[in-house]
A and B are shown apart, each in its own frame.
Chain A
């Protein structure tokens, strides 16, 4: 026999941790197995021979050494530092550099709100500013949760232990922690979903790692008790045999931490050593008895006895739920199994309630983590998917730089949850209404109420979720179609926010095109406004099911009944209230839900949708009865079965009512009316519920027709089995947000990284960073299903209105019918060196907004930009400056005047040059006659007898036309006349086409000056939609603009004033109109005709034209 002395050495690692070791002889027999503490030597009896010595590390690695025993005493040592380093970890710097505030030993904690600042540089060297702008910031904080309390942020000091290329290790000292409390570490940021991880009951080492491929962070919590961690690692990896070796060794010792006591308890339960477990639990009850895990382990231990005290066990499990969540994931599994076991036997509300409570954690748990790790913003009521954002307070900035909080406070659910919404649980709702009717605020309220947004933003403060471009913030209005989503009742509602101002009608039409339903906002004080009329028309054109929402019910002059009647009278008689407000203005207290007949009183400070449910107040009962009767009767009238019940006096259930209402909405027969206060989130909960219940899923909408390459038409029903087809409805490029392409999938599904075909342009594109949008934030998803709305990093050759389809199945969808831009402005670069950049910048703007066009007009000698309104153009100029760095000067575009003649006249033109060499001879007599307005130009050949050979006649025509390009009065093109060449002569040798062209020019000038030339000016047909009270002001203003009033007729609740107005008088008319009518009037205009310029205007215009002509001549 011989003795083999085996020592385990580690210069860096912890000492006295038992490591499983096996000795294997040359025949591969395991001759010894046991554990050896790191830093110690174990003497083992053996025979001389060759041996392999295996040391099994908690990381899963196996260190093997070869020992040859030849003498009585052999010593063999294993160096733990020989363990291979894992290469799976990414460089944390790639994801999160630069670090801020992390010098080793720095204390990160302190009082709530304390931030750590100074930058210490990047792990990966210098990076460009733009790269840094995209980097994430990670925050950390600690929560303390007492039993029965939801939890509080606890100012636990954290100390940096170590920072490596792929991980950060922190230490939290819980030595003074309250043993009754559970502690959670919480890590997250604007791009890293917030996670909570329960802390083991000892001083801690917290490890944060970047996972491979730079996708995410792993947040690991480890105790500084390496013994317990070692055992835990073997238990979790399934290496039970190794865990046994470690556990046996650990139970020999006297000093035991709380964590080791707990982990050993779990292990003893798993291997069924109940007697040892009972003794162990009794011994350590004082240490771990206040933890939920203790109750769970003890419960199962009792259940496995010969005659278990079943009631006692149930009590243990229920107490555990009351105390909070178990620290270890293993405990959560055992608890749910145990409760389900009881639930199977006994239908008990207490058990079901406990299961519901604890089950909520199970769905969000990261089962790969040892301690209970889940997603939420606080330790209670875990959210089914991660929340992103920056803590409003109390957080400690761990990594990255501090973001401007206003911009960063957005939230979104994680991609894991995104991919879970099937098409039948999607609702695409476009939110429309007059400008300032509260659309954006309502979306903010709904998203905040649902939890997909961390803060209820404000349009006024520039923090609104769907209103984020600098132009929108500075003007305080929405200008772009924008998407945000709320998750509610297991459905995802994509809210499509649209501008209310008609200057941005193109964006609104794009939003309506991709929606399956509409939410029409009407302001309680203002009622139906001109913008409401217009968007309602668009909603009706698309046959979208719609609901109305009366906003601002808390305003001074809010009047629900008046708005209801207003909608009924001016928009649709088929509107029907489903809620009744309790009070209005400052007395607005809540709503009565007509379906369940209960009153919901809002409570709190007006920042949440919390409410008290009560009986309907007696004084409101008659009103409620009236509305209820109307609702029931109206719904019943849409469904034969319900009508039969109704007429027979039978009531129908709320569920039947909802179903019938939804069907009626799909047919366009009913439009429910809701109310609330979006700024206070009052009413948003009820609205979300009803949107899910009443709005159609994409599959419930009529099929979309798409055209194949051969002209064949196929129907897409928003099925995942359809061929993929998506309509691009928005492209955007924001310097600090990125370049993105927004699209709605009408058929099939698409995965991140897929190659698709732009069927409109026959170009291949690849989807990268497939995401869903939450305002300006984007959350990457793996897949986007039929019916959903997504966004990808901007595609190279794809523009708004293009169709993306499967490469092998090209399809083209009907695009958005964008309105034609008709308001023009002339642009000049303020700096002449920017001329080139100007045309590029304008082109980019057009790509993003098809309602904005710009090109150089050679007739006017100006670059003319056209848009839907002056504000639209003004905003585009701001964007041009911001995005392309080109500052422009906007001028009134020159008016395209024309000249014409009033009388017939004749003119003779002879071009003769016969002085040496070959001469030139052309001689023509031309007669001009006026034509009717709009008839253009006509040329007649009246030559007889061949006085001008036929081959020269076209040259005369060209000469007349060329001369007519510059009229004889002010140089404007002459139109609406006939030129007749009736006589002339030629020379057999010297005549040529050029000579007769010159003759034509001369003859034209001679004739035109005698044909009573006049100047024509373009006249526009203008339609102004204005409330009654401003009609007088509007007409007066039009008269001042030399307008000719054609008539006036009612249009909804407005008056439609029609007039013919010279274009020259309409420059910046919309600004004037807004001022005249408090922004409540809108107008359209289109070209009507050319009419004579009044005589008194002619000299002025001629003089001006001459001035410009001279200037051109000078330069």
Chain B
């Protein structure tokens, strides 16, 4: 069983249908239970991908899209797990993310998405990926056939092209995986795996189908063990408000603003990390027209950082954003916290004798996803 949220209402009603895959257990890679494939490409077991996939599935219950409310989630996890719906508390034993199970879930997902052109199709994958222009997504049983390990890998590019024949005019792809290359990949003419659907040469119409990659070609994506990965964390932050813009008095998240926000949030994550751990999300795919995929019910939070320079001024300053958000004196670090989007006065108040003049910036527009300033004390 992979369907964790049964369809509500008629299938003819436009809805959002998601296929969510999280692979942490790899039977034929190092640390797996099976015989290790001849070339592992350095890949091992993962612990953050299933956590990330579950977090994304949880988020989907928050999705508010009057034009296409949530219709279904096909969830596959390796190792297998019981999924508890955050909305209803319903417990569902989900199937493992093997190639066969994914292919069957894909068929069901495709059919649901294909019922109405106003449907929204969401594809989310967290796990290992390997790339040589063609991206191969690796399910749990990657390497089942030792002589043809990519036989049980998902050929993403062709799967994407195959989705062209699906009637859902809006499709979103979130790929939380590495896109590493190595000599083996580059030299392997059979690289790429099998597509989940049959691409049709004669049906390559234009769609709104952005692909948001966790990282660039040849690069790695990162996540702490047993925690939501950096990409999914940024994606969820963006979906929960970081990617919002206000249009006609509504805070909305569109297919285009979402990608930009995720890229910026990951850039912010990179700060303070060693260059080898930097990650840069990328947005590709087709963009026929922007599509509002989520409406926020409240004003979103903005990741705000207010700093003061020189460094010795920081500790002497009381930093503030409006009346509500303050950081007391004596703390050498910046004011760093989520702040409701809006216009605020921003500044720093120094204790008497500190040798600095108070700073006040009136009417600062604090908008998603990030507000970062450094106040120069004199």
Contacts and interface: CB of A to CB of B under 8 A. Distances in A.
A368 B213 CA distance: 14
B205 A367 contact: no
Contacts of B342: 28
B365 A241 contact: no
A28 B283 contact: no
A304 B205 CA distance: 5
Interface in B184-240: 184, 186-187, 189, 192, 195, 198-199, 201-202, 204-207, 216-218
B188 to A, nearest CB: 9
A1096 B290 CA distance: 111
Interface stretch (A268-276, A435-443, A935-943): A268-276
Nearest to B300: A28
Nearest to A356: B189
B260 A340 contact: no
A127 interface: no
Contact of B161 (A239, A271, A341, A422): A341
B286 interface: yes
B182 A333 contact: no
Contacts of A26: 343, 363
> Which one of A50, A336, A340 has the greatest number of beta carbons of chain B within 10 Å?
A340
By size class, the interface of chain A is 35 or more
B367 A28 contact: yes
Interface in A827-883: none
Contacts of A344: 158, 195, 198-199
Contacts of A28: 246, 341-343, 365, 367
A24 B367 contact: yes
Interface string A408-440: 000000000100111011000000000000000
A341 B201 contact: yes
Interface in A12-38: 24, 26-30
Interface in B341-358: 341-343
B217 A367 contact: yes
B186 A50 contact: no
A241 B257 CA distance: 8
A749 to B, nearest CB: 11
> Which one of B183, B260, B365 has the greatest number of beta carbons of chain A within 10 Å?
B183
Given A28-B365, A344-B195, A238 B263 contact: yes
Nearest to B187: A490
B246 A421 contact: no
B218 A367 contact: yes
A737 interface: no
Contact of A29 (B157, B161, B249): B249
B195 A30 contact: no
> Which one of A29, A30, A238, A356 has the greatest number of beta carbons of chain B within 10 Å?
A238
Contacts of A307: 202
A310 B202 contact: yes
B116 interface: no
B248 interface: yes
Given A272-B207, A340-B157, A367-B216, A24 B365 contact: yes
B202 A64 contact: no
B288 interface: yes
A266 B198 CA distance: 26
B39 A241 contact: no
Contacts of B189: 356
Nearest to B282: A238
A272 B286 CA distance: 7
A242 to B, nearest CB: 8
A893 interface: no
B247 A50 contact: no
A345 B288 CA distance: 26
B158 A272 contact: no
A1054 to B, nearest CB: 46
A307 B343 CA distance: 53
B363 A50 contact: yes
Contact of B158 (A66, A303, A340): A340
A241 B290 CA distance: 8
A50 B249 CA distance: 16
B204 A308 contact: yes
Contacts of A345: 199, 201
Interface string B281-320: 0111011111000000000000000000000000000000
A702 interface: no
B365 A64 contact: yes
Interface in A307-341: 307-308, 310, 313, 332-333, 336-337, 340-341
B133 A368 contact: no
A362 interface: yes
Contacts of B283: 238, 240
Contacts of A308: 201-202, 204
B181 interface: yes
A339 B179 CA distance: 21
A50 B343 contact: yes
A384 B186 contact: yes
A422 B39 contact: yes
B134 A336 contact: yes
Contact of A52 (B132, B183, B365): B365
Contacts of B198: 344
A1030 interface: no
Contacts of A368: 216
Interface string A928-972: 000000000000000000000000000000000000000000000
Contact of B275 (A27, A212, A340): A212
Interface string A271-288: 111100000000000000
A420 B182 contact: yes
A237 interface: yes
A6 to B, nearest CB: 16
> Which one of A212, A240, A272, A344 has the greatest number of beta carbons of chain B within 10 Å?
A240
B367 A337 contact: no
A270 B287 contact: yes
A342 interface: yes
Nearest to B161: A341
B259 interface: yes
A342 B202 contact: no
B183 A421 contact: yes
B376 interface: no
A848 B158 CA distance: 58
Nearest to B257: A241
Contacts of B98: none
A213 interface: yes
B256 interface: yes
A341 B287 CA distance: 20
27 contacts: A26-B343, A26-B363, A27-B249, A29-B246, A238-B282, A240-B259, A240-B287, A241-B254, A241-B256, A241-B260, A270-B287, A271-B286, A272-B286, A304-B204, A308-B202, A310-B201, A336-B134, A337-B133, A341-B158, A341-B161, A341-B201, A344-B158, A345-B201, A367-B218, A368-B216, A422-B39, A490-B184
Closest 6 CB pairs of A and B: A272-B206, A238-B283, A363-B186, A272-B288, A367-B217, A52-B365
Given A308-B202, A344-B199, A420-B182, 5 more contacts: A272-B286, A303-B201, A308-B201, A310-B201, A341-B161
